[in-house]
Amino acid sequence: MAHAESGRGAGETAALAEFVAETTAADVPDSAVADARVAIRDYLGVAVYGAHHGVGDRIAGHVDATMGGDDATVLARGRASPTGAALANGTFGHAVDYDDTFESVVIHPTSPVFAAALAAVETEGGTADDLLVADVVGCEVASRVGHATHPSHYANGWHLTGTAGSFGAAAAAASALSLSADATRRAFGVVASGSSSLKKNFGTMTKPLHAGHAAETGLRAAMLAARGWTADRNVLESDLGYGTVMTLEDGYDPEEILVGLDSPDPWAVADIGYKPYPSGVITHAAMDALRALVRDHDLTPERTERVVVTLDEAANEMLIHAEAEDELEAKFSIEFCLAAVLREGTAGVDEFTDEYVRAPATREAMALVERDFEVDLFGDEFAGYGARVAVETTDGSRHQTAVRHAPGSPNNPVGEDRLVAKFEEAAGAVLTGDDVDELRAAVEALGTEHGSLDRLLAAL
């Protein structure tokens, strides 16, 4: 991987494009391959589940009606055009907000990136190694564009999964389609004009659509560039470039793209965390904290006087549904998330349903939860993902604990057994037990001598 230009002060668009075009399987270390396998397994579990969720039903119906074809796999559904498959599969992955998240920047990377990579590799007749490289490269680009625009971009109302994720999807598709560096620069120019997703839509079906939109627009940009489509070849830089336009004053830092690009260490896939709960990641530290208190002190709603959860001030703008009325709003309601844990000891896909959210017992438990916020709750911890939870009981006892990092993140990993259980729960809601086992085996063989794209596709 000889990224000579990036070492000589080339612009960030050119440097990123060269990185994408030049990176091969030989350049990706075994550690990154292993991280990518875990991410792909996690994604496919939640995406197969999402394919038959209400969100999945609707987007699949739209794709069937408007983007039909036989070129690419639609997970647990059938086939469609390449961009139709990318749209559907990206949306499936984020349908229940159970997909992975970078720890150091607020992006769900694998749903948009892998959805674009899979459609492009399948259409191009590529290999399992091509798929892995496309996924790893796409995650790297999404992370770097995200870091270059964060936190200004996110604070100004943009959802990075749909914006930076679009660049990651375009990079993945460009890699899978073997685009030249020049064509990849043009693909970035195209995708920059399609990059959009607003946090205002959190708690609605349009939030998962952000991931599908990113996958679709990224793949489309790469396919257009392959046909010679023109676009600005330096779209990230300058006063009218993406970086400046999409951030507030001085909010764009191109060095976040360029530094270490020649030889990432670690690769961005090492920054991926895996959700133990199907809700916004900002809720997870609090949920794990209460989970521990419930377990250790045999807490129930009947024995609880109140639950006080303290979060970083940055969480306030994301937890926008204190009185959640359905499962999508519940994913951004700390009141619901803690009520479910208080009732059940945990919270999974069975709790995140409209029926459970609206149940009288749930509403009563939600009324016990009080939210509080502190600026820099744990000092300089990134993104304010930590939480402190205190429970006061009806007999006058008080129990408190804190979790500084979201569970499942690299700084607070969950065990392999918990990740496998999550995969089996999600995929098993749609597939038979044998099919779940085969899908897991097909993913875990990727990057080994037994890895096969045909085997993976057959399992989908």
Q: What are the pLDDT digits (tens) for 11-44?
A: 999 999 999 999 999 999 999 999 999 999 999 9
Q: How confident is the model at residue 150, as a pLDDT?
A: 94
Q: How confident is the model at residue 376, as a pLDDT?
A: 82
319-322 contacts, C-beta under 8 A, 24 or more apart: 319/280, 319/282, 319/283, 319/371, 320/202, 320/203, 321/203, 322/371
Which candidate, 137, 197, 136, 135, places its Cα nearest to that of 166?
Answer: 197
Which of 239, 273, 307 is where one domain is finished? Answer: 273
Q: How confident is the model at residue 6, as a pLDDT?
A: 38
Within 13 Å, how many C-alpha atoms sit on residue 48's CB side? 24
For the chain, what is the domain count? 2
Q: How confident is the model at residue 5, as a pLDDT?
A: 39
Q: Is residue 433 part of a domain?
A: no
Which candidate, 362, 306, 371, places its Cα nearest to that of 339?
Answer: 362
Dump the DSSP string for 160-212. Answer: HHHHHHHHHHHHHHHHHTT--HHHHHHHHHHHHHH---BGGGTTSTHHHHHHH
pTM exceeds 0.75, yes or no: yes
Residues 285 and 268 in one domain: no
Residues 203 and 172 in one domain: yes
Which candidate, 318, 218, 309, 273, places its Cα nearest to that of 413?
Answer: 273
Q: Is residue 290 part of a domain?
A: yes
Domain with 373 in it = 281-403
DSSP letter, residue 413: P
Q: How confident is the model at residue 80, as a pLDDT?
A: 98
Within 13 Å, how many C-alpha atoms sit on residue 187's CB side? 38
Residues 92 and 172 in one domain: yes
Residues 39 and 92 in one domain: yes
- What are the b/e assignments for 11-28, b being 16+ CB within 10 Å? bbbbbbbbbbbbbeeebb
Non-local (6+) Cβ contacts of 454 within 8 A are none
**Three-state secondary-structure class, residue 387:** strand
Residues 248 and 168 in one domain: yes
Which of 403, 423, 444 is where one domain is finished? Answer: 403
Q: pLDDT tens digits for 234-247?
A: 999 999 999 999 99
Q: Name the stretches of the chain with pLDDT < 50.
A: 2-9
Q: Report the CATH number that the domain containing residue 245 is assigned in CATH.
A: 1.10.4100.10
- In 10 A of CB 1, how many CB atoms? 14
Q: Is residue 384 part of a domain?
A: yes
Q: Is residue 442 part of a domain?
A: no
**Three-state secondary-structure class, residue 372:** strand
Q: Is residue 413 part of a domain?
A: no
Q: How confident is the model at residue 215, as a pLDDT?
A: 99
